[in-house]
């Protein structure tokens, strides 16, 4: 049977992969068969999840990775013999009922006919029993729909709709779509929320490392940031990508000179970046806006906060009721220009929940400094709010300092520590401090019982950078088994290549 495969497979067209069809070379499949010649047949065989990576490498005729994956499968399933032809192997790795011609769906997605694509998906589900769109197709479609909604919202100046689109699809804020983050910051500025616009630029600089992304982000931020904020943004950029120091130093000197300010003395970390995973990090935090797209009232000046009395603003009951009902926009309208710290405290939570962390930070800070007369519980909860506002600005160490000095409730402390470990782990990874990054992510998993998928990918890449190849393989394989994506396939392929090179 195997002797005649060469002529049969050389012209065989295999089931369609996303965006097109592919052909498998006879030599690649013969290699799989050759590796299994001496293996006796037993009942233990790999299932569909186990064969995903092998099928991927076969699709791309990547023989080196095929060999590495076959070594792994033979070690895991010593009694398995590869089947006699490709279709039998595919039958193990993918049920025939799931095969369908999806080219028409991809055509509709690519031309922006998202409603048509979804209609064709529904039609294919009915005509091909057992078929469902794969994770990649749904990811691309949902991202395209969100991008279309975001672009339309920007075009009509609808601040709330733009933010809603970004919230539905955080991938819109990835570094490879950095223009979205820039447009979002500009919309915040137009709405009078300069601090939030600056925070959006800070989010970009906390994630993106290419000079082509970092330099224009700093130049745009320079138009609205105070000199103190600009200095902090350059510090963030240096911490995220120390290798950019030669680009950032003259840029900062030029921007400061344009303001008539002397050059600063940067203190850049000395870590040298090594390999990193695909660009899956978001460029800016996802944010929310007041209902209906209307801008919330302007933030309270800091000078006014310091002179507020403890109580006495008659709007407190109504504002508190709106806050507890989750009507954040109406709460801000009801509490405009507060005349007491008591009302300012309620307003701070509404501002925070509308993702206006700059205003929330200032308000919580005033309550923690001057609101002792409101009771220990209010001061404690204001300190909790202050840590959350710091964390929303990626000011991790400031948040940790406040949390350490506050007797938080257990659920509050878990929430704060979860975000702190998350941010510290990501920052350590980007500074190439891989052992420390793994320690943070492990501690986060122990604290919460789980680890978010993007952080689990970073942890696996950290092990890979440290040459802990067995651990990295186990973690990438588990993630791929849970949900196969281009990112997990790329990771497994890179890992196989690294293992083969050794």
User: Is the pLDDT higher at 54 or at 418?
Assistant: 418
% of the chain surpassing 90 pLDDT: 21
pTM of model > 0.75: no
Residue whose tokens read 């040459």: 467
Of 11-20, 35-44, 49-58, 84-93, highest mean pLDDT: 49-58
Phi first, then psi, for residue 422 (nearest 5°) are -55, -55
What is the mean predicted confidence (pLDDT) over 319-348? 90
- Is the CATH number 1.25.40 carried by domain 296-408? yes
Instruction: Map 179-195 to HEC letters.
Output: HHHHHHHHHHHHCCCHH
Instruction: Give the C-alpha separation, 175 to 153, whole Å.
Output: 20
Q: What is the mean pLDDT of residues 42-67?
A: 66
Across the range 229-251, mean pLDDT stands at 87
Q: Which residue has the higher pLDDT, 160 or 16?
A: 160
Question: 346 near 317, Cβ under 8 Å?
Answer: no
At 470-495, the pLDDT tens digits run: 999 999 999 888 888 888 888 898 88
Query: Is the pLDDT assigned to residue 419 strictly greater than 80?
Result: yes
What is the pLDDT at residue 367? 93
Fold topology of 422-501: 1.25.40
Q: What is the pLDDT of residue 33?
A: 38
- Predicted confidence (pLDDT) per residue in 35-48, tens digit: 333 333 333 567 66
The CA-atom distances, in angstroms, between 373 and each of 200, 304, 360, 369 are 35, 18, 20, 11
pLDDT of residue 460: 94
**Which of these ranges, 167-176, 331-340, 396-405, has the smallest mean pLDDT?**
167-176
> Distances in Å between the alpha carbon of 16 and those of 13, 20, 107, 254?
9, 6, 14, 54
In which residue are the tokens 């992969």 written? Answer: 17
The stretch 26-32 carries a mean pLDDT of: 38
Mean pLDDT, the chain, rounded, equals: 76
pLDDT value for 317: 93
Which residues pair with residue 20 across a beta bridge?
Answer: 17
The CATH architecture assigned to 174-258 reads Alpha Horseshoe (1.25)
Place of tokens 């393989």: 473
Rounded to an integer, the average pLDDT of 296-304 is 51
pLDDT of residue 499: 77
Q: Which of 361, 329, 324 is nearest to 344 (CA)?
A: 361
What is the pLDDT at residue 90? Answer: 67
Q: What is the pLDDT of residue 206?
A: 79
Q: How many angstroms separate the CA atoms of 73 and 55, rounded?
A: 12
pLDDT at 296 over 60: no
> Do 54 and 72 touch, CB atoms closer than 8 A?
no
Choice between 240 and 252, residue whose per-residue pLDDT is larger = 252
Mean pLDDT calculated for residue range 454-458: 91
First to last CA, the chain: 35
Lowest mean pLDDT among 148-152, 260-264, 483-487: 260-264
Domain 174-258 matches domain 296-408 at the CATH topology level: yes
The structure tokens listed for 182 are 């820039």
Instruction: Over range 155-171, report the average pLDDT.
Output: 79
Is the pLDDT assigned to residue 130 strictly greater than 70? no
Quickly state the pLDDT bin for 341 (edges 50, 70, 90): very high
Is 151's pLDDT higher than 50? yes
Where along the chain do its domains lie? 2-94, 174-258, 296-408, 422-501
Residue 384 has pLDDT above 80, yes or no: yes
> What average pLDDT does range 424-452 have in this prediction?
90
**Across 236-248, average pLDDT:** 85
How far apart (Å, rounded) are the C-alpha atoms in residues 286 and 163?
Answer: 7
List, in order, residues 6 or more apart from 397 with CB less than 8 Å away.
none
């Amino acid at each position: 049977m195997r002797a005649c495969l060469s002529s049969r497979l050389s012209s065989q067209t295999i089931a369609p992969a996303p965006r097109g069809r592919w052909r498998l070379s006879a030599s690649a499949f013969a290699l799989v068969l050759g590796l299994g010649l001496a293996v006796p047949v037993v009942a233990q065989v790999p299932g569909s999840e186990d064969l995903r990576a092998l099928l991927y490498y076969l699709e791309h005729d990547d023989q080196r990775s095929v060999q590495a994956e076959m070594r792994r499968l033979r070690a895991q399933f010593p009694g398995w013999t590869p089947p006699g032809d490709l279709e039998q192997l595919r039958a193990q790795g993918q049920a025939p009922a799931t095969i369908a011609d999806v080219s028409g769906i991809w055509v509709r997605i690519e031309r922006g006919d998202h409603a048509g694509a979804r209609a064709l998906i529904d039609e294919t589900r009915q005509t091909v029993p057992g078929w469902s769109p794969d994770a990649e197709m749904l990811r691309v479609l949902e991202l395209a729909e969100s991008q279309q909604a975001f672009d339309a919202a920007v075009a009509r100046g609808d601040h709330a709709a733009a933010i809603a689109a970004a919230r539905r699809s955080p991938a819109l804020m990835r570094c490879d779509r950095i223009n979205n983050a820039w447009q979002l910051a500009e919309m915040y500025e137009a709405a009078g929320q300069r601090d939030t616009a600056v925070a959006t630029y800070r989010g970009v600089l906390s994630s993106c490392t290419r000079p082509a992304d970092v330099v224009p982000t700093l130049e745009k931020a320079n138009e609205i940031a105070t000199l103190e904020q600009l200095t902090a943004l350059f510090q963030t950029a240096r911490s995220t990508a120390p290798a950019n120091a030669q680009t950032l130093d003259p840029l900062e000197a030029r921007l400061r000179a344009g303001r008539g300010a002397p050059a600063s003395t940067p203190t850049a970390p000395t870590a040298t970046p090594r390999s990193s995973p695909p660009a899956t990090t978001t460029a800016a935090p996802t944010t929310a806006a007041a209902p209906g797209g209307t801008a919330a009232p302007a933030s309270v000046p800091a000078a006014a906060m310091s002179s507020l009395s403890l109580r006495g603003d008659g709007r407190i009951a109504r504002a508190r009721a709106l806050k507890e009902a989750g009507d954040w926009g109406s709460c801000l309208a009801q509490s405009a220009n507060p005349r007491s710290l008591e009302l300012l405290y309620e307003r701070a939570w509404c501002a925070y929940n509308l993702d206006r962390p700059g205003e929330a930070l200032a308000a919580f800070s005033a309550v923690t400094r001057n609101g002792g007369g409101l009771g220990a519980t209010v001061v404690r909860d204001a300190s909790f709010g202050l840590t959350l506002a710091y964390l929303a600005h990626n000011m991790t160490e400031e948040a940790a300092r406040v949390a350490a000095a506050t007797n938080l409730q257990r659920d509050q402390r878990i929430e704060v520590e979860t975000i702190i470990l998350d941010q510290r782990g990501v920052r350590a990874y980007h500074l190439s401090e891989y052992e420390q990054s793994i320690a943070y992510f492990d501690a986060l998993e122990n604290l919460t019982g789980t680890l978010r998928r993007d952080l689990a990918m970073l942890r696996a890449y950290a092990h890979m950078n440290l040459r802990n190849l067995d651990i990295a393989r186990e973690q990438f394989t588990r993630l791929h088994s849970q949900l196969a994506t281009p990112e997990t396939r790329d990771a497994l392929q890179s890992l196989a290549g690294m293992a083969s090179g050794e």
